[in-house]
Structure 1
Amino acid sequence: MSNQLILSIPAPILTYQEYARLQGLTVQSVASAVFAGKLPVYTPPCSPNENPARVKKYINMIALYAEAAKAANIDMALTSDKQV
């Protein structure tokens, strides 16, 4: 029998503002962590006439959970089953 830990991630991506609020940080400190490569970011696709640098970026919570699991030596499998 294997042990399972089931996590529910309320939102797969968060704005810098929402992530900062949840973590008790300033938006500037979140932006600095992103710039330093310490937080994973999701950048939505943009149209060819948009400047990619100006597209709003989000904190990628799925990647953050995966990084945390790896750091804790936990094997993580993702599923889209909506069993509650």
Structure 2
Amino acid sequence: MLTIIPVIPAPFVTYEEYSRVTGLPMGTIKDYVSKGKIIVKEKEQTKGKPFVNMVAMYEIAVREATKKLG
């Protein structure tokens, strides 16, 4: 069995960085966040900048891959 260990550049990234890494437009990212498809870090302040939780997103990707590949 092949094991792949992804390198996560940072545990949390801004929407802008997530857009750059994934190629998704900002509008799509915001839509996916509102639908729960992209996991974000809870803001510590109400006016705080939202951050995508990259660890959670990789975990989702691993689960989906495992389900498809067995």
How high is the TM-score relative to the length of structure 1? 0.66
Higher relative contact order (CA 8 A, sep 6+): 2
The runs of at least 4 consecutive aligned structure 1 residues that moved more than 4 Å come to none
Query: 2:17 aligned with 1:24, yes or no?
Result: no
5+ residue gaps, structure 1: 47-51, 75-84
Inter-partner Cα distance in structure 2 for 1:44 and 1:31: 15
Once the two structures are TM-superposed, the CA of residue 5 in structure 1 deviates from its matched residue by 2.6
Higher-Rg structure is: 1
Match of 1:6 in 2: 5
Inter-partner Cα distance in structure 1 for 2:63 and 2:53: 16
Q: How many residues align?
A: 67
Percent identical among aligned pairs is 34
RMSD over aligned CA atoms reads: 1.9
5+ residue gaps, structure 2: none
Instruction: List per-residue Cα deviations over 1:6-61 (Å, max 9, x = no partner).
Output: 22211111101111122222211111110111101112423xxxxx3x32211110
Alignment of 1:27-46 (within 5 A): 27-46=26-45
